[in-house]
Structure 1
Amino acid sequence: MLVTLSKIKFNSLSDADLCWACIEPSILAYKQSKGIDFTESHYRNLSKGQQALFMYTVYFKHALRSKEEFYWWTVHLLMFRKAWTELKKALQFFNDQAMIHHLEQFISHIQSWDIDGENPSLSLLKKDLVLQSMVVSSFNAAQKLSQQTTSSISNYIRHHVTEFIQLKNEID
């Protein structure tokens, strides 16, 4: 699903805004489908770059809202192994080894806590100061790394425009 942007608009967008403009229609399609048959009806029709951007956006738009969201969403990656596999493929697509390494370390720490992936209790996070400290540290690092990731993705989009955008000459 290509988005249509004028050349002026395309050139004026920040890295984050460009990424969002390229994936927003797919996010809206997912929300409209409520996830039902989304993979078959939409996701598989996206280019590899669009799929990678979708997976990145879905995880990071939620996970980077707060340390609690980061913890909860990452624990759920463990529950839905296919989701972690897809997110990792997305990060590999954009050659983001730093974020992959960071998330793998965080997941390893979470697994050492023996947290139940089906019920990642936020009360445990609130009670356990060591776990809380580890989550805060990882969350802060992920926020910083995500800025680099967003920049890399935007750079990829700018060099592979036709995979994401149909440019028009007139002004929006």
Structure 2
Amino acid sequence: MTLVTMKQVEFDTLSDERLGWACVESTLLGIRGKDAAAKEQAITSLNKSQQALCMFRVFYDHAKKSAIEYYSWISYLLQTPGYWPGVTGSLRYFSDQKMLQLLEDTKQVIKERNNKHNGVAFYKDLEQDNELSHTVNRLYERFQEIVPNSLKRISTFIRSNQEDFVIIEK
């Protein structure tokens, strides 16, 4: 278990987004570019709260940039063993029903697209299919509406369960 050390004032004043990142930054940067086994080992060495936060950040940090990134990243999560259940499990852990429902809705759109085209979703799909592009843009707009509440929910959890994430410097 890896706890982050920070001063009380930092813990108290970091934004919702920055607090979540600060609690898992070293873990996520440490596994960037590593193979699946190294990533799994790093994540399983964390406590349940840290695991949930890491899996949320694996999703959020990639999906937040644009509708294309959102679509591409969710498609990737669905294809990569362990990632989809990890992300949806993290949303259940933080009782984030709205984001969980959005991911399920997005999964359904991707499944329907894949069945229709006998293939795997790819970012270029959005350039070639106006209806899909419109649908994904609407899903991404929902993401942008929901995510501040997700970040707030998670930061509130972190602040209420400080011992799972942080050691406060004296």
Q: Which residue of 1 aligns with 2:74?
A: 74
Q: Percent identity?
A: 29
8 Å CA contact 1:75–1:120 kept in 2: the answer is yes
1:112 matched to 2:112? The reply is yes
TM-score (norm 2): 0.91
**For the residues of structure 2 that align with 1:58 and 1:146, how far apart are their CA atoms?**
14
**For the residues of structure 2 that align with 1:110 and 1:56, how far apart are their CA atoms?**
20
Task: Describe the SS at the equivalent of 1:167.
Answer: strand
Give the gaps of 5 or more residues in structure 1: none
TM-score (norm 1): 0.90
- The Cα offsets for residues 9-48 of structure 1, whole Å up to 9 and x where unpaired, read as 11111111111110101112112745552322x2111011
1:11 matched to 2:17? The reply is no
Q: Which residue of 1 aligns with 2:145?
A: 144
Matched pairs, number: 168
The verdict on how the C-alpha distance between 1:111 and 1:11 changes in structure 2, with shifts beyond 3 A counting, is same
The amino acid of 1:17's aligned partner reads R
**For the residues of structure 2 that align with 1:117 and 1:77, how far apart are their CA atoms?**
18
Q: Which residue of 2 aligns with 1:132?
A: 133
Give the gaps of 5 or more residues in structure 2: none
**For the residues of structure 2 that align with 1:80 and 1:45, how far apart are their CA atoms?**
20
8 Å CA contact 2:67–2:136 kept in 1: the answer is yes
8 Å CA contact 2:113–2:121 kept in 1: the answer is no
**For the residues of structure 2 that align with 1:31 and 1:111, how far apart are their CA atoms?**
28
- The Cα offsets for residues 86-115 of structure 1, whole Å up to 9 and x where unpaired, read as 111100000001111111011112211226
8 Å CA contact 2:43–2:51 kept in 1: the answer is yes
Q: Which residue of 2 aligns with 1:158?
A: 159
The amino acid of 2:80's aligned partner reads F
- Structure number with greater CO (CA < 8 Å, separation at least 6) is 1
- The Cα offsets for residues 105-147 of structure 1, whole Å up to 9 and x where unpaired, read as 1111221122679743322211211100000000111122111
The amino acid of 2:4's aligned partner reads V
